[in-house]
Amino acid sequence: MSLFYRVLIVLFCFMAAGNSQAQQKTRILFIFDASNSMNGKWEGRSKIERAREILCASIDDLMGVENLEIALRVYGHQSPVTATYQDCNDTKLEVPFGPNNYAEIKHFINHVQPKGTTPIANSLEAAYDDFPDNTTRNVIILITDGLEACDAFPCEVAAKLKSKGIGVTPFVVGLGMDLSYLDDFECIGRYYEASTPEAFATAMKSVIADAVLNTTVQIDLMDIDGNPTETNTTVFLYEAGTNNLKYTFMHTLNIKGNPDTITIIDPDINYDVVANTLPLVEIKNFDVKKGIHNHIILNTPQGMLQTRIKGPTKTNDVTVRVTQAGKSITLNAQKTGEFQKYIVGTYDVEVFTLPRIYFNDVKIDQGSHTYLDIPGSGQLKWKAYKPIVGQIFVFKDDGTLEWVCDLNYDKTSDIKYLQPGEYQVVYRLKDTYSVNYTNTKNFKIISGQDTGINL
């Protein structure tokens, strides 16, 4: 039976062989779920109300499209389901294909009352005879809120249709639907999760565009082995040669682990494609071919970088600056403890501790985690009875001193987080005017500990 708060749209595209003139016409058959579960609530309204509204809006979008005919089949609307009986033959072609039947289809959708069961497979099988011929591009869009309820298998129906010489390309849009029961049939294609009515409406626009244009795009973010396994990256599509951003997508892999397919796209312009990796990867002037499935291939092999503080520390709030090796422009600033993906290669890393820590030629490998460990800081607490001017230096391994930071001469006390080591502070009273009043004081910083000095 149907599942509460689930919306599934299964599209089986029957691609028939034929001459180019016949293929110019497209026929779309909507199969509409009017089973009893459509009376259930979905975000404050019944699911039948939501489905009516969205489907009628989709039909309005189709009005005026040339070389297009639509039809309507409904199931679950003739025989009430009871505790002891369900009519698995409750499916009927209510409005056949024909010109100017949009108003008739919308009228039926708006007045049908849900009452019966969910015979998905029987509806798909019966739908084969709803098409006048196989010389056009024939598309079935099945709209339902539930699973097959009559112990039949929609994928077996798809296999039967394919055995008759009809090519089947399935599309799936669903809310929280567990599709594992279909894995053995290889009939699941694109999968869209519609968790809200708004997402459902967007999905409908997408599949309608696919049905009418038959032009799709797949963005392949390739790993180091040439497989499209990279994902979770924002991709921009600009009109080629301009700053006109046409589409923005958060790249994802579908339920089959393949890059998800884009169906709402204008095939009449070329695109500059930008993958927002670190650093950016882009392709200029990509030409989308009409009527086919296009692949946009970007080489984006990536690995993870994390800087970690090891051992006791007085602060974890440390910024890390990352640049490409040998380049001065900041690529990214991340915090210690954070993971960040980077394109495979070598990078220079500057850690904003006091004093600074530098890592040069850090290697990022495909699918690997690179960890950079730094010591925990200690805490210096200094105070003076009058404002002072001063600077802190660290003793290097060769015994020389290296500047670390200046003291705030508007204060008489302050706190500094310093890396473990031997230090010297050079200072004098702010209101003195002779270098002879210069003083120095040495101190030691230990990770996770406090050090106090009086100046």
Q: What six digits make up the tokens of 221?
A: 């973010």
Residue 160's pLDDT is what?
A: 67
Q: What six digits make up the tokens of 8?
A: 């599934």
Residue written as token pair 């230990």: 446
- What is the C-alpha separation between 378 and 420, in angstroms, rounded? 6
Q: What is the CATH number of domain 378-454?
A: 2.60.40.180
Cβ neighbour number for residue 327 with a 10 Å cutoff: 11
- What is the C-alpha separation between 306 and 294, in angstroms, rounded? 36
Q: What is the CATH number of domain 302-375?
A: 2.60.40.1120
Domains 8-213 and 378-454 agree in fold = no
Give the residue ranges of the chain where pLDDT is below 50. Answer: 1-11, 13-23, 165-179, 181-182, 184-186, 188-189
- What is the C-alpha separation between 335 and 317, in angstroms, rounded? 7
- Backbone angles phi and psi of 197, in degrees to 5: -60, -35
Q: What is the CATH T-level fold of the domain 216-299, as seen in this structure?
A: Immunoglobulin-like (2.60.40)
Helix axes 47-62, 102-111, angle to 10 degrees: 180
- What is the C-alpha separation between 262 and 328, in angstroms, rounded? 37
Dump pLDDT digits (tens) for 237-269.
Answer: 999 999 999 999 999 997 778 898 787 788 889
Q: What six digits make up the tokens of 47?
A: 């699911």
pTM over 0.85: no
- Is the Cα dihedral 116, 121, 122, 125 positive or negative? positive
- What is the C-alpha separation between 380 and 444, in angstroms, rounded? 9
DSSP codes of every residue in 33-98? E-BGGGGSEETTEEHHHHHHHHHHHHHHHHTT-TTEEEEEEEESSSS---SS---TT-EEEEEEEE
Sequence spans of domains, the chain? 8-213, 216-299, 302-375, 378-454
Q: What is the β-pairing status of strands 26-33 and 137-144?
A: parallel
Q: What six digits make up the tokens of 101?
A: 């039947």
Residue 368's pLDDT is what?
A: 96
Give the 3-state secondary structure percentages of the chain, helix then strand then coil, rounded to 5: 20, 45, 40
Whether 203 contacts 194, CB under 8 Å = yes
Strand order in the sheet with 378-383: 413-418, 378-383, 450-454
Helix axes 120-127, 154-163, angle to 10 degrees: 20
Q: What is the CATH number of domain 8-213?
A: 3.40.50.410
Residue 156's pLDDT is what?
A: 74
Hey, what amino acid is at 328? S
Whether 299 contacts 281, CB under 8 Å = yes
Dump pLDDT digits (tens) for 37-94.
Answer: 888 888 888 888 988 988 898 899 888 888 889 999 999 999 998 888 999 999 999 9
Residue written as token pair 């626009």: 205
- What is the C-alpha separation between 378 and 447, in angstroms, rounded? 4
Residue 192's pLDDT is what?
A: 56
Residues 6+ apart with CB under 8 A from 314: 376, 377, 378, 379, 417, 448, 449, 450
Residues 6+ apart with CB under 8 A from 376: 309, 310, 311, 312, 313, 314, 420, 447, 448
- What is the C-alpha separation between 368 and 365, in angstroms, rounded? 5
Instruction: Give, as one character, the DSSP assignment of residue 116.
Output: B
Residues 6+ apart with CB under 8 A from 183: none
Of the candidates 306, 307, 313, the one whose C-alpha atom is nearest the C-alpha of residue 420 is 313
Residue 102's pLDDT is what?
A: 94
Cβ neighbour number for residue 111 with a 10 Å cutoff: 8
